[in-house]
């Protein structure tokens, strides 16, 4: 989707506003070269003040990348493209954050067992033209439906014991052994991993063709 414009993109000094190794690997797969700047936003927005989970996810993603943009303005002066995202698991309209303990991870996996949930990503791209300090913004959401097989308690216990649950919304990572939990999937698989590659690539193409 962007193979013919990768050189133009890489010339913009890209920053990925995420320390996620999964997002880094996905961007590398499509040929992008980038610096990594981690957001310091505490992700403490009040979920109760948002009518829809998508609104909370969208605002969190924007706050996270805005913090990265501030850091970039102070230290990476030649950067003209910043990419970031927030990805969460949503079950029955309720957001599942990253588990804080093994017991919380087990509770999440028990709740997901044998049921359908959604993985929602909000992607944000900041960009600025040559000679222009003002940033422009593109933001979009991608939703993937995921149906888990029924998970025996022994499997849940064994998986959580690996430690793979703790940095992932919903307590699982589809790119690893937990991919075997997925019975069916409706939508973008890479979105479940943490970054919807096709819609992001389409967004980057629009930006390059219109501005660079």
Q: Look up the pTM and report it.
A: 0.94
Mean predicted confidence (pLDDT) in 195-202? 97
Residue ranges of E strands in the chain: 14-16, 34-36, 81-91, 94-96, 116-127, 136-148, 182-186
The predicted pLDDT at position 44 comes to 84
The helix/strand/coil state of 121 is: strand
Q: What architecture is domain 3-211?
A: Alpha-Beta Complex (3.90)
pLDDT digits (tens, 9 = 90+) for 133-168: 899 999 999 999 999 999 999 999 999 999 999 989
Paired sense of beta strands 182-186 and 136-148, if any = antiparallel
By annotation, the residues acting in catalysis are: 86
């Amino acid at each position: 989707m962007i193979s013919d414009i990768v050189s133009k993109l890489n010339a913009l000094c890209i920053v990925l506003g995420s320390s996620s190794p999964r997002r880094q690997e996905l961007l590398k797969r499509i040929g992008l070269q980038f610096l990594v700047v981690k957001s310091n936003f505490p992700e403490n927005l009040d979920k109760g003040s948002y009518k829809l989970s998508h609104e909370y996810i969208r605002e969190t993603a924007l706050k996270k990348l805005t913090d990265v943009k501030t850091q970039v303005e102070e230290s990476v002066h030649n950067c003209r493209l910043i990419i970031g995202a927030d990805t969460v698991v949503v079950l029955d309209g309720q957001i599942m954050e990253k588990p804080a303990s093994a017991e919380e991870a087990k509770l999440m996996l028990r709740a997901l067992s044998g049921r359908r949930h959604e993985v929602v990503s909000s992607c944000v791209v900041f960009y600025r033209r040559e000679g222009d300090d003002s940033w422009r913004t593109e933001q979009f959401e991608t939703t993937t439906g995921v149906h888990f097989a029924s998970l025996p308690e022994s499997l849940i216990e064994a998986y959580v014991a690996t430690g793979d649950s703790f940095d992932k919304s919903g307590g699982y990572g589809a790119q690893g052994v937990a991919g075997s939990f997925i019975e069916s999937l409706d939508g973008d698989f890479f979105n479940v991993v943490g970054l919807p590659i096709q819609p992001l690539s389409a967004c980057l193409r629009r930006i390059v063709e219109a501005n660079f």
